[in-house]
Amino acid sequence: MHDDRSITEQRLRRVLEERVKPAVHTYPVPLTVERWEAPAEPVPVAEALTAAYTPCTPGEAWGPAWGTTWFKVTGAVPADWAGRTVEAVLDLGFDRMMPGFQCEGLVHRPDGSEVKGLNPYNDWVRVADLAAGGEPVEWYVEAASNPVLVQHAPTSEGDRLTSSDQPLYRLGRMALTVFETEVWELVQDLEVLHELMTQLDGSDARRYEILRAVDAALDEVDLADVPGTAAAARARLTAVLAAPARASAHRISAVGHAHIDSAWLWPLRETVRKVSRTASNVLALMDEHPEFVFAMSQAQQLDWIKTHRPALFERVKKKVADGQFVPVGGMWVESDTNMVGGEAMARQFLYGKKFFLDEFGIETRNVWLPDSFGYTAALPQLVKLSGSRWFLTQKISWSQVNAFPHHTFWWEGIDGSRVFTHFPPVDTYNGDLGGAQLAHAARNYREKGRGTRSLASFGWGDGGGGPTREHLARARRQRDLDGSPRVEVERPDAFFEKARAEYEDAPVWAGELYLELHRGTYTSQAKTKQGNRHSESLLREAELWAATAAVRVPGFAYPYADLERLWKTVLLHQFHDILPGSSIAWVHREARETYARVREELRAVTLAAQTALAGRGEEELVFNCAPHTRRGIPAGGADRPHGSGQPVTVEERHGGGHVLANGRLLLEIDGRGLLVSAYDLEQGREALAPGAAANLLQIHPDFPNMWDAWDIDSFYRNKVTDLVELDALEVTEQGPEAVTVTATRSFGASTVTQSLTLRTGAKTVDIVTDVDWQETEKFLKAAFPLDVKAERTASETQFGHVYRATHTNTSWEAAKFEICAHRWIHAEEPGWGVALLNESTYGHDVTRDVRPDGGQTTTVRLSLLRAPRYPDPQTDQGRHTLRFALAPGATLGDAVREGHALNLPERVVTGAGPVAPLVAVDEDAVVVEAVKLAEDRSGDVVVRLYESRGGRATATLTPGFPVAEAVESDLLERPLDGSAVGPVTRAGKIALTLRPFQILTVRLHRR
């Protein structure tokens, strides 16, 4: 037989696009359209309904960037349409290729209630059940003219303060039509068969069966009367659509979803509207399709619906109760997991799961994070402690170099906790259930021969409207179809139960899920990252002192509501396009403003609690919020400092510069203002490589191949400029307690002032870097070449640390040329190490070189600032103050202690006398992460601790108040059947036993 496949396929494409699809909506009757421009920001629906509208016609321009135009749409269903299915087509001027990245609308009834959203693939509204023939139709469309910002080019449209006021869109067709059901069904038949056919091998007889059936169906179509011949055409396809799937066919659990970034190429306020549009869409779809299941993550987004659209939220609650609308994820937002602090990660689960429990009575069991930029090795333990059982991600499919070896596996964290994990082989979280995607999932699936099933989420994301009726039509046709994977629409937990049941002995992946892409997100938007770190530290302080005051000071009220509100604000800004620095200028401008307000509120809470604790008096008390004693002040207590060390001395250095010493460290700063020696006097060891200079600022070009704010590509290292030219060098502070040497430099259009300080009793050199950064597409690093033969470095992560190799033996190590660390990174050879500490920096890189003398130099660098131009062309421009420190001779325990000390500064308050800690722990390896009052407002004290060094630890917890019982709890402060917490002794002490990196939450019931 002659091979005429291409002819039939070309025929199908043209007939489908030019004749069949246009015949779905027939007999258009124009609607009357009027418009009203909302002033500046969105207004309440009630205000828009009573506004003065003016006439408008299709083709008319509308919508300046970030504006809102309300369209009033009226008309009447023709009398002779009675008994027919009627739909309005409301085209706001959509580009069909970009759902979610352009204008969007929400249709309201005259009473203000929501009908559904309008999007490029969802521009219709069913009216047959609202009006019979001759009856009037009236809607109000809230249309958002969001600018299209996906071109990956610098633009001023990313902030309403700089965007254009020119109209962006032209109104399209606004008409009542007859919806030709049989034609629409024919479209779905042909599209499913076409995609299936083109995915089958050319030697597969099934491909030719479909080809001949399609050819016959097209013969039945009268191009001049598609509606009249659609049924006959469909009849020729019945047999090929009824053929059952092969016994070995891959099984796909299809879950409706609409991935919505809580901010990205739009501000937070626009996401508030995106989620309402999407929710109204899926609720309407559920009413028509009882088999439809939709999963929505991010408690914050549901809370927005509750706050701004209470009637819509009540409809959501009903569908949750019915089992169609499924909350997933268990987190407040789909956060970044690389940079979020340990306690903040715990609160993501606490407040996320608490919302789902309080509002829906549902305990979510899965953690849904498809799009975050890599996943911390601390996460499995947090997932388990939150009461969840499954983990889902998708983003690892974006890795540039190494293909991840599993799709279903057990993920093991730093403490040994394991969580059953799925990585959908469909390689998208915005699936369309088309034949190409389903075939890719089946081919790509790496568990063949052991597992048989995978999950695919389907629906247009980011305000694109979510799942459509077309998606559900594809699912129905491919439920049991020869040549296709079997598709079943079902809840995520149903998939995970089945997947685990068939593959309990799935392989294990231990350690972080490192994304080999988007490494620049550890550095972009430094002020956003600094705001996050500072806010996490301030929340710790506020809770600790407020809890202490609430227990100790009669009448002091613990600010439950304020702390919860502030926590949720910080958690929101940990979303995976805000904290990573990959959103538009508007988002980061607002983030800076928000962090400033958070800072002032938390400082006020802290000061009120400390003042109440200190009492009236004239004694200067230093409050120590850090988890370790410092200057004689106990952790979580206040006192006068005592105990110090030798006075700090400063001398002129031969050849220029200065020599500083305090009996523990001897520092040499040369005439260039660079640190050329950091000598550990206690152990007789030099920290810096011979002939090398530390605290060396270096500039690289920064122009990645794509994804400007997200990426750095390894070739940036090919060119480097050392900043060694000096404007000024001077001793700016000199006294027995501290000496500071300050160096000022100019480079490009920028200036930098660095102050290096050595304090009495300290074994760290503190460095404050003030930068006026005016560069573009440049990368600023601070290098510390260490005389340490380190085979690996330890980087702090949530509740512990991860080891990463310094070599590049394999492509897996080589791909980690930029890594994330929290408060410290530690390089060590047996018996001696160095820690590099920071106060708000996350990006680092580590390289190793062998010197001519045979020694190894391990160079650790901090990534300080970037200057990408997309999506925010002014990224990081302006003034920054960055603090970091070098700790020669530091052990892992020293790194933990000094990292906390740098991030949790002392506070001085005048009062009557010392304040004893509310709780105390007698083992430095066991770190108190949080002290707070219980969420249920019972007055119980909750203490969260962790083993910080990677070894077993026993400790005694001593509460500074009468305790009736100590209970090991989960992250939601519910009892666990654990054995880490002993009974309360007569002396009021509690024995603790922790495995390496174990997180332990202890709930103390007060007597």
Q: What amino acid positions are annotated as catalytic residues?
A: 371
Angle between helices 310-322 and 268-288 (to 10 degrees): 50
Of the candidates 374, 393, 380, the one whose C-alpha atom is nearest the C-alpha of residue 457 is 393
Of the candidates 931, 935, 1007, the one whose C-alpha atom is nearest the C-alpha of residue 540 is: 931
- Please give the Cα distance from 764 to 758 (Å, whole number): 7
Residues 529, 970: Cα–Cα separation, whole Å: 28
User: What strand order describes the sheet that includes 926-933?
Assistant: 926-933, 941-947, 999-1006, 963-969
Residues 6+ apart with CB under 8 A from 358: none
Distance CA 345, CA 571 (A): 8
Phi, psi (degrees; rounded to nearest 5) at 997: 60, 20
The radius of gyration of the chain from alpha carbons, rounded to an integer in Å, stands at: 31
Beta carbons of 518 and 373 less than 8 angstroms apart = yes
DSSP string for residues in 25-92: EEEEEEPEEEEEEPPSS---HHHHHTS--EEE-TT-EE--TTEEEEEEEEEE--GGGTTS-EEEEE--
Dihedral, CA atoms, 526, 530, 531, 532, nearest 10 degrees?
110
- DSSP per-residue letters across 286-348: HHH-TT--EEE--HHHHHHHHHH-HHHHHHHHHHHHHTSEEE-S-SSS-B-SSSS-HHHHHHH
**Sign of the torsion formed by the C-alpha atoms of 145, 151, 152 and 156:** negative
Q: Which amino acid is at 132?
A: A
Structure tokens belonging to residue 231: 């049924």
Residue 48: half-sphere exposure toward Cβ, Cα within 13 Å: 29
CB-based contacts of 263-266 (< 8 A; 24+ apart in sequence): 263/575, 263/577, 263/578, 263/583, 263/587, 264/462, 264/577, 264/582, 264/583, 264/584, 264/587, 264/871, 265/101, 265/149, 265/150, 265/158, 265/583, 265/584, 265/871, 266/146, 266/463, 266/584
Residue type, 461: G
User: Is residue 170 packed enough to be buried (19+ CB in 10 Å), middle (13-18) or exposed (0-12)?
Assistant: middle
Q: What are phi and psi of 902, to 5 degrees?
A: -65, -35
Answer yes or no: are the C-beta atoms of 64 and 81 closer than 8 Å.
no
Distance in angstroms (rounded) separating the CA atoms of residues 462 and 259:
6
Question: What is the DSSP pairing of strand 941-947 with strand 926-933?
Answer: antiparallel
| C-alpha–C-alpha distance, residues 696 and 783, integer Å | 5
| C-alpha closest to that of 177 among 219, 125, 217, 105 | 125
If one counts every other C-beta atom within 10 angstroms of the C-beta of residue 718, the result is 8
Please tell me the distance from the alpha carbon of residue 725 to that of residue 736, in angstroms, as a whole number. 30
Query: Which of helix, strand or coil describes residue 588?
Result: helix
- The span from the CA of 655 to the CA of 636, in Å, is 46
Q: What is the 3-state secondary structure (H, E, C) of 732-766?
A: EEECCCEEEEEEEEEECCEEEEEEEEEECCCCCEE
Place of tokens 């110090």: 644
* Separation CA 19–CA 359 (nearest Å): 48
Residue from 867, 873, 798, 864 nearest 836 by CA: 864
Instruction: Count the neighbouring beta carbons within 10 Å of the beta carbon of residue 944.
Output: 22
